[in-house]
């Protein structure tokens, strides 16, 4: 029995299904969560399908999470999508259900759940959710809006189909999704647009990005720097790809100060694998897209030194 068949069998056994995704979500996290919820609601109208997590104004166009009581977890199946490790799951109650399933496309360093479907070679978890529907088309229904949010998740995690994780299968899935009744160009434009504060932050990023001789680059966004832009931490995700457009930049780190005073690191690369470096700082992710955390400015300096050496040694 395939893992997909096991997952569908488990879904059929439960009347309440609660879907979680990772903290500080991106389009793939919300797209895969809302897309799966859309499939399950349409396919099993008698079941209660709920989405957990914090809501963000910038992602309301993809859907909103539900208010869920503790009691609803007692006899529920919990599905965690697009989340590599347990500390990143949004809402700690994901362990309170009767059974737990993990569906993800990150390296499976933290193996959790009664069932795990993890495919690091996939472009996105949204791609996997479509594959799940496609495998069981005779039993499952994908509404047009579910197709829209899955397409948005793929667009987001492939960087508009520019990242190496984009495969021939990714284009095949995108083409199948485009056959549904929504506008792919509207989704593309929505993901590409920025407001004026973010445009000004983008200008600041290009002006203040530090590029080392090795090709390693970094930008530190302290709370003091961010305050005039009136942007939340989730908004800074939009500037992460910007250094990659610069020819001289090979790998880069963007440090974003959190309310607690530590710094979240958004780490990207055009070639050298950076996920092992991220693991050294309590993070992880893909070889070319990872995240981590440092406690203070001294650790920022150490991290930059390590990133510089990594890029140098890769040559």
- The whole model's pTM is what? 0.89
Per DSSP, the residues of 100-116 read: EEEEESS--SS--SSEE
Which residue matches tokens 């795990």?
A: 116
Instruction: Please state, in angstroms and as integers, the Cα–Cα distance from residue 315 to each residue in 253, 277, 312, following that order.
Output: 18, 16, 6
Q: How far apart are alpha carbons 257 and 225 in whole angstroms?
A: 9
- Of 211 and 285, the one with more pLDDT: 211
Question: Looking at the predicted structure, is the pLDDT value of residue 315 above 80?
Answer: no
Helical H runs in the chain?
Answer: 3-13, 27-43, 125-135, 144-157, 168-178, 184-192, 196-208, 223-226, 275-280, 297-314
Instruction: Please state, in angstroms and as integers, the Cα–Cα distance from residue 102 to each residue in 12, 54, 278, following that order.
Output: 16, 19, 22
R_g of the chain computed on alpha carbons: 20
Question: Looking at the predicted structure, is the pLDDT value of residue 36 above 90?
Answer: yes
Q: Rounded to the nearest 5°, which phi and psi values hold at 195?
A: -90, 175
pLDDT bin (cut points 50, 70, 90) of residue 298 is very high
Q: Which two tokens stand for residue 209?
A: 């990005």
Q: Which residues contact 215 (CB under 8 A, 6 or more apart)?
A: 248, 249, 250, 251, 311
**b/e sequence 53-71, b meaning 16+ C-beta within 10 Å:** beebeebebbbebbebeee
**pLDDT number for residue 232:** 65
pLDDT bin (cut points 50, 70, 90) of residue 235 is confident
**pLDDT number for residue 145:** 98
**pLDDT number for residue 185:** 97
pLDDT in tens, 271-291: 999 999 999 998 888 899 999
**pLDDT number for residue 251:** 98
Q: Under CATH, to which class is 197-314 assigned? A: alpha beta
3-192: in CATH 3.40.50.410: no
**pLDDT number for residue 234:** 65
Question: Looking at the predicted structure, is the pLDDT value of residue 30 above 90?
Answer: yes
Q: How far apart are alpha carbons 143 and 138 in whole angstroms?
A: 14
Q: How far apart are alpha carbons 193 and 175 in whole angstroms?
A: 23
pLDDT bin (cut points 50, 70, 90) of residue 195 is confident
Q: Which two tokens stand for residue 276?
A: 């092992």
Residue 263, classified by CB atoms within 10 Å of its CB into exposed (0-12), middle (13-18) or buried (19+), is buried
Contact 134, 216 (CB under 8 A): no
Q: Which two tokens stand for residue 95?
A: 């362990």
Look at residue 47 and give its three-state secondary structure. coil
pLDDT, averaged across the chain: 95
pLDDT in tens, 53-81: 999 988 999 999 999 999 999 999 999 99
Q: Which two tokens stand for residue 284?
A: 């992880």
Q: How far apart are alpha carbons 29 and 7 in whole angstroms?
A: 19
Q: Max Cα separation, the chain? A: 60
pLDDT in tens, 236-278: 888 999 999 999 999 999 999 988 889 999 999 999 999 999 9
Q: Which two tokens stand for residue 63?
A: 């859907």
Pairing label, strands 16-20, 284-285: unpaired
Q: How far apart are alpha carbons 152 and 30 in whole angstroms?
A: 9
The residues spanned by each domain of the chain are 3-192, 197-314
pLDDT in tens, 43-55: 999 999 999 999 9
Note whether 3-192 and 197-314 share their fold: no
């Amino acid at each position: 029995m395939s893992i997909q068949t096991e997952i569908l069998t488990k879904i059929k056994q439960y009347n309440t299904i609660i879907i979680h995704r990772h903290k500080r979500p991106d389009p793939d996290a919300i797209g895969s969560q809302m897309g799966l919820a859309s499939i399950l609601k349409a396919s099993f109208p008698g079941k209660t399908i709920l989405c957990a997590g914090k809501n963000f104004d910038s992602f309301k166009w993809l859907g909103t999470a539900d208010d869920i009581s503790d009691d609803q977890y007692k006899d529920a199946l919990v599905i965690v999508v697009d989340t590599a490790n347990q500390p990143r799951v949004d809402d700690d109650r994901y362990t309170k259900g009767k059974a737990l399933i993990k569906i993800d496309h990150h390296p499976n360093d933290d193996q959790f759940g009664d069932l795990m479907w993890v495919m690091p070679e996939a472009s996105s978890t949204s791609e996997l959710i479509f594959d799940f529907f496609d495998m069981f088309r005779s039993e499952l229904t994908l509404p047009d809006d579910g197709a829209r949010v899955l397409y948005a998740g793929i667009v987001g995690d492939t960087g508009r189909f520019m990242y190496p994780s984009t495969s021939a299968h990714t284009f095949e899935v995108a083409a199948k999704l485009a056959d549904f009744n929504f506008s792919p160009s509207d989704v593309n434009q929505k993901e590409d647009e920025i407001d004026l504060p973010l445009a000004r932050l983008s200008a600041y990023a290009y002006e203040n990005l530090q590029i080392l001789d090795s090709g390693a680059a970094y930008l530190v966004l302290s709370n003091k720097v961010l305050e005039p832009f009136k942007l939340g931490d989730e908004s800074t995700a939009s500037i992460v790809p910007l250094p990659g457009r610069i020819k001289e930049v090979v790998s880069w780190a963007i440090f974003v100060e959190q309310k607690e005073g530590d710094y979240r690191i958004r780490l990207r690369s055009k070639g050298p694998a950076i996920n092992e470096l991220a693991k050294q700082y309590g993070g992880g992710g893909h070889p070319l897209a990872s995240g981590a955390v440092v406690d203070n400015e001294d650790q920022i300096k150490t991290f930059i030194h390590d990133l510089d050496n990594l890029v140098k040694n890769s040559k």
